[in-house]
Amino acid sequence: MRWMKERWRWIRSLGRRNELESGLDEEIRFHIDRQSEKNLRAGMAPDEARRQALIKFGAMEGLKESTRDQFRPALVEDSLRDLRHGVRALRRAPGFTIVSSLMLALGIGATTAVFSVVNGVLIKPLPYPNAESLVSLEHTAPGVNANVPGDVGMSAALLYTYRDENRTFAELGVWSSGTESVTGVAEPEEVDSLYVSHGTLRALGVQPMMGRWFSHEDHTPGSPETVMLTYGYWQRRHGGNPSVIGRRVTVDSRPRTVIGVMPEGFRFLNAAPDLIVPFRFERDDLNLGQFNYQGFARLEPDVTLARANADVGRMIPIWLNTWPSFPGIDRQFFESLRLTPALRPLKQDVVGDVGNVLWVLMGTIGIVLLIACANVANLLLVRAEGRQHELAIRAALGAGWSRIARELLLESLVLGLLGGALGLGLAFAALRLLIAIGPATLPRLNEITIDPAATAVVSGQDWGRC
């Protein structure tokens, strides 16, 4: 308890320095004045009484310093003093400070920028609820390599089979993208469109900002045709008017009713569509062919990827035996495909092959940072050689080597913080430029930011360098 009281008194003293100094001076004057009065009563002359009181009191500055140590942590006070001395030393050597800071800034800035890209593209989960449960519905067809690509997507018949027979999916759907011509709202324009089956948006788990998702009726042929808008298109073409729900827009010469608006920031995997249009499959017209769609599913809780693959493997024979063959192609062709499930995390599909390139780039930039730190270390050694005389004099005047080492460490810390701040600014500018350029081969571009994880990397680099 006593230890805690002392620490609390030390902490309070940090913010009351002037008050404590004034009180200390007043206390010393009080004791000297009392001793002077005693000396006067003993018959001494006023000047001699004062002089003898000061002699008896002793070294005033030493007493002040020992008293200060009782009220505040000497280490903190000394460290702040050493920090100020380190800043002044760096200001006296502007060439060294500028060159060292720029070297660190380039190394730290490049590492932070590349880590932000790696973090945004590879490390962060997809921006959907429980994104780790989303899997891509892919297949391989090892039986006919010449006619079928390595990855086989989804067909409408597979979609219905999986929806009716699965034991592992909470939701699933298929999708494709294209363009549509929109008329009836200002000038006609060609917009990017997303076509989805029933369950696709539900599988992502992103609720509309206004209105509703597509219902089963919206996907039924013959029912009134509908469309959903994304936030950006709603703002751009409809001025953010909430009354857009229920309006009719003409999409490819077909009137559709707007039933919903997706929230701001919504992206469909790597796509940023303007309109979302429901697929309308005529179930009686489907067959074994037409693998024209991409698909994904949300797994039931506690279902593993291996179990989901096994479940799809169980359903493929059901698909083969349920649907008619594609016109003009024998059923044996589809059997010879030996369609095999190849489900994988949806994030892996979104990222694609760019992941390997980014990890290699991250390693390369890490080497650049090491080179920058080595160069700064060499500059520090050269500077230390030039300061040997100064340090020897300070040691001769009574400064302990621990005190000198602490001052040099704090000086290095200031240099590291300066380089880190400049590096963070360079990284921010580089990422803004990258996003402005918008390379088509880089997925999840809009999710690349300097977030707390990237800031932690900068801090780690600074501490590691110091």
pLDDT surpassing 80 at residue 173: yes
**Residue-level pLDDT at 390:** 72
pLDDT surpassing 80 at residue 9: no
pLDDT surpassing 70 at residue 61: no
Average pLDDT over residues 252-278: 94
pLDDT surpassing 90 at residue 182: yes
φ, ψ dihedrals at 59, nearest 5° = -65, 110
Give the global pTM.
Answer: 0.73
**Residue-level pLDDT at 455:** 75
Q: Average pLDDT, whole number, for the chain?
A: 84
**Residue-level pLDDT at 462:** 55
**Residue-level pLDDT at 237:** 92
Average pLDDT over residues 90-104: 87
pLDDT surpassing 90 at residue 308: yes
pLDDT surpassing 70 at residue 98: yes
Determine how β-strand 189-196 pairs with β-strand 275-278: parallel
**Residue-level pLDDT at 440:** 72
d(CA 251, CA 230): 15
**Residue-level pLDDT at 60:** 62
CB neighbour list of residue 89: distance below 8 Å, 6 or more residues apart? 411
**Residue-level pLDDT at 145:** 60
The residue with tokens 């009719």 is 248
d(CA 445, CA 120): 8
203 CB burial (10 A radius; 0-12, 13-18, 19+)? buried
**Residue-level pLDDT at 437:** 86
Burial 439-464 (b: 16+ CB within 10 A, else e): eeebbbbebbebeeebeebbeebbee
Q: Kindly report, residue by residue over 385-398, the tens digit of the pLDDT.
A: 777 777 677 677 66
pLDDT band with cut points at 50, 70 and 90 for residue 352: confident
pLDDT surpassing 70 at residue 268: yes
φ, ψ dihedrals at 94, nearest 5° = -65, -35
Q: Kindly report, residue by residue over 232-245, the tens digit of the pLDDT.
A: 999 999 999 999 99
89, 152, 331, 367 from 323: Cα distances, Å: 82, 18, 10, 57
**Residue-level pLDDT at 24:** 64
Amino acid occupying residue 130: N
pLDDT surpassing 90 at residue 400: no
Q: Which of 288-297, 308-317, 445-454 has the lowest mean pLDDT?
A: 445-454
Q: Express as a percent the part of the chain with pLDDT over 70.
A: 83
pLDDT surpassing 60 at residue 128: yes
**Residue-level pLDDT at 376:** 85
Which of helix, strand or coil describes residue 172?
strand
pLDDT surpassing 90 at residue 343: yes
**Residue-level pLDDT at 292:** 92
Average pLDDT over residues 18-41: 72
pLDDT band with cut points at 50, 70 and 90 for residue 411: confident
Average pLDDT over residues 60-88: 63
